[in-house]
Amino acid sequence: MKFSNRVEGMASSPIRRLSGYAQTARDKGLKVIPLNIGQPDIETPQVFYDAISHFEVSVLEYTNSRGMKKTLETMQLYLRNYGLDFAIEELVITAGASEGLVFTMMTLLDEGDEVLTIEPFYPNYDTFAKMAGGRLVGVHSSIDNGFAMPSIADFEDKITDKTKAILLSSPGNPTGRVYTQAEIEQVIAIAIKHDLFIVADEVYREFNYTDRPFVSFGDYPEIAERVVLVDSISKKYSACGARIGSLASKNKEFMAHIMKLCQSRLSVSTLDQVGAGAMDLVDDQYVYDNRKIYKNRREVLNQALQKIKGVKVTEPEGAFYNIIQLPVDDAEKFIIWMLDQVEIDGYTVLATPAQAFYTDPRYGKNEIRLSYCVSEEMIERAMAILALALDRYPNRQEI
Amino acid sequence: MKFSNRVEGMASSPIRRLSGYAQTARDKGLKVIPLNIGQPDIETPQVFYDAISHFEVSVLEYTNSRGMKKTLETMQLYLRNYGLDFAIEELVITAGASEGLVFTMMTLLDEGDEVLTIEPFYPNYDTFAKMAGGRLVGVHSSIDNGFAMPSIADFEDKITDKTKAILLSSPGNPTGRVYTQAEIEQVIAIAIKHDLFIVADEVYREFNYTDRPFVSFGDYPEIAERVVLVDSISKKYSACGARIGSLASKNKEFMAHIMKLCQSRLSVSTLDQVGAGAMDLVDDQYVYDNRKIYKNRREVLNQALQKIKGVKVTEPEGAFYNIIQLPVDDAEKFIIWMLDQVEIDGYTVLATPAQAFYTDPRYGKNEIRLSYCVSEEMIERAMAILALALDRYPNRQEI
- pLDDT for A318: 97
CA nearest neighbour of B120 among B136, B139, B133, B107 = B139
The DSSP code for B297 is H
Q: Which of A3, A12, A44 minimises the CB distance to B107?
A: A3
B309 Cα to chain A: minimum distance (Å): 35
Coil, helix or strand for B238? Answer: coil
CA nearest neighbour of A57 among B280, B242, B173 = B242
Q: What Å distances lie between residue A219 and A47, A80, A227, A284, B386, CA to CA?
A: 30, 11, 10, 22, 52
Q: What is the mean pLDDT of residues A384-391?
A: 98
Q: Which of B12, B242, B253 minimises the CB distance to A3?
A: B253
pLDDT in tens, B310-321: 999 999 999 999
Q: Which of B53, B57, B98 minimises the CB distance to A264?
A: B98
Q: A61 and B197: CB-CB below 8 Å?
A: no
Residue type, B34: P
Q: A131 and B261: CB-CB below 8 Å?
A: yes
B42 Cα to chain A: minimum distance (Å): 6
Whether domain A5-43+285-391 has CATH 3.30.70.270: the reply is no
- Write b or e for each residue in A220-232: b if 16 or more Cβ atoms lie within 10 A of its Cβ, otherwise e: eeebbebbbbbbb
pLDDT in tens, A176-197: 999 999 999 999 999 999 999 9
pLDDT confidence tier of residue B16, bands split at 50, 70 and 90: confident
C-alpha B160/C-alpha B194 separation (Å) is 9
Q: A60 and B48: CB-CB below 8 Å?
A: yes
CA nearest neighbour of B233 among B101, B369, B374, B48 = B48
Neighbour count for residue B374 (Cβ, 10 Å) = 19
The DSSP code for B150 is P
pLDDT in tens, A246-269: 999 999 999 999 999 999 999 999
User: Are A236 and A203 a contacting pair, CB within 8 Å?
Assistant: yes
Measured between CA atoms, the residue of chain B closest to residue A17 is B263
Q: What is the mean pLDDT of residues B369-395?
A: 97
Measured between CA atoms, the residue of chain A closest to residue B98 is A265
Q: B12 and A268: CB-CB below 8 Å?
A: no
The DSSP code for A253 is H
| Residues in chain B within 8 Å Cβ distance of A132 | 4, 6
Coil, helix or strand for B336? Answer: helix
Q: Is the pLDDT of residue A205 over 80?
A: yes
Q: Is the pLDDT of residue B286 over 90?
A: yes
User: Are A129 and A108 a contacting pair, CB within 8 Å?
Assistant: no
Coil, helix or strand for A370? Answer: strand
Q: Is the pLDDT of residue A227 over 80?
A: yes
| Residues in chain B within 8 Å Cβ distance of A39 | 61-62
B285 Cα to chain A: minimum distance (Å): 18
pLDDT confidence tier of residue A13, bands split at 50, 70 and 90: confident
| Residues in chain A within 8 Å Cβ distance of B263 | 12-13, 16-17, 124, 127
Residue type, A277: G
Q: Which of A12, A102, A266 minimises the CB distance to B260?
A: A12
Q: A269 and B4: CB-CB below 8 Å?
A: no
Which distant-in-sequence residues (6+ apart) come within 8 Å of A359 by Cβ? A119, A126, A136, A137, A138
What residues does each domain of chain A span? 5-43+285-391, 46-281
Q: Which of A10, A59, A275 minimises the CB distance to B43?
A: A59
Q: B272 and A269: CB-CB below 8 Å?
A: yes
pLDDT in tens, B234-276: 999 999 999 999 999 999 999 999 999 999 999 999 999 999 9
The DSSP code for B85 is -
Strand partners for B347: B31, B344
User: Are A250 and A225 a contacting pair, CB within 8 Å?
Assistant: yes
Q: B271 and A268: CB-CB below 8 Å?
A: no
C-alpha A53/C-alpha A56 separation (Å) is 7
Query: In a mutagenesis test of the A interface, which of B111, B251, B257, B269 is the best target, namely the one with the most A β-carbons within 10 Å?
Result: B269
Q: Is the pLDDT of residue B53 over 80?
A: yes
- pLDDT for B76: 98
Measured between CA atoms, the residue of chain A closest to residue B1 is A195
Q: Which of B7, B195, B251 minimises the CB distance to A106?
A: B7
| Residues in chain A within 8 Å Cβ distance of B272 | 269, 271-272
A33 Cα to chain B: minimum distance (Å): 16
Neighbour count for residue B144 (Cβ, 10 Å) = 10
Measured between CA atoms, the residue of chain A closest to residue B127 is A264
Q: What is the mean pLDDT of residues B310-337?
A: 97
Q: A265 and B95: CB-CB below 8 Å?
A: yes
Q: What Å distances lie between residue A137 and A174, A202, B130, B252, B356, CA to CA?
A: 16, 20, 24, 31, 37
User: Are A258 and A108 a contacting pair, CB within 8 Å?
Assistant: no
Neighbour count for residue A124 (Cβ, 10 Å) = 23
Q: What Å distances lie between residue A158 and A116, A191, B227, B374, CA to CA?
A: 8, 13, 42, 57
* Chosen CATH of A46-281 out of 1.10.357.10, 1.20.140.10, 3.40.640.10, 3.40.50.970: 3.40.640.10
Q: B3 and A253: CB-CB below 8 Å?
A: yes
Residue type, A233: I
User: Are B324 and B313 a contacting pair, CB within 8 Å?
Assistant: yes
User: Are A202 and A230 a contacting pair, CB within 8 Å?
Assistant: yes
Q: What are phi and psi of A347, to 5 degrees?
A: -110, 145
Q: What is the mean pLDDT of residues B131-137?
A: 97
- Write b or e for each residue in B151-186: b if 16 or more Cβ atoms lie within 10 A of its Cβ, otherwise e: eeeebeebbeeebbbbbbbbbbbbbbbbbbeebbeb
Rounded to 10 degrees, the C-alpha dihedral B65/B69/B74/B77 comes to 100
Q: Which of B1, B239, B263 minimises the CB distance to A197?
A: B1
Q: Which of B11, B106, B263 minimises the CB distance to A131?
A: B106
Q: Is the pLDDT of residue A16 over 80?
A: no
Q: Which of B41, B128, B263 minimises the CB distance to A59?
A: B41
- pLDDT for A14: 77
User: Are B214 and B182 a contacting pair, CB within 8 Å?
Assistant: no
Q: A266 and B226: CB-CB below 8 Å?
A: no
Which distant-in-sequence residues (6+ apart) come within 8 Å of A164 by Cβ? A108, A109, A113, A114, A115, A134, A196, A197
As a whole number, the mean pLDDT across chain B is 96
Measured between CA atoms, the residue of chain A closest to residue B2 is A108
Residue B252 burial (10 A CB sphere; 0-12, 13-18, 19+) = exposed
Longest dimension (CA), chain B: 63
Q: What is the mean pLDDT of residues A126-143?
A: 97
A8 Cα to chain B: minimum distance (Å): 7
C-alpha A48/C-alpha A244 separation (Å) is 12
Q: A241 and B99: CB-CB below 8 Å?
A: no
User: Are A207 and A73 a contacting pair, CB within 8 Å?
Assistant: no
pLDDT in tens, B211-226: 999 999 999 999 999 9
Order of strands, sheet of A135-140, starting from the edge strand that comes earlier in the sequence: A91-94, A245-249, A227-232, A197-201, A163-169, A114-119, A135-140
Q: A65 and B272: CB-CB below 8 Å?
A: no
- pLDDT for B19: 85
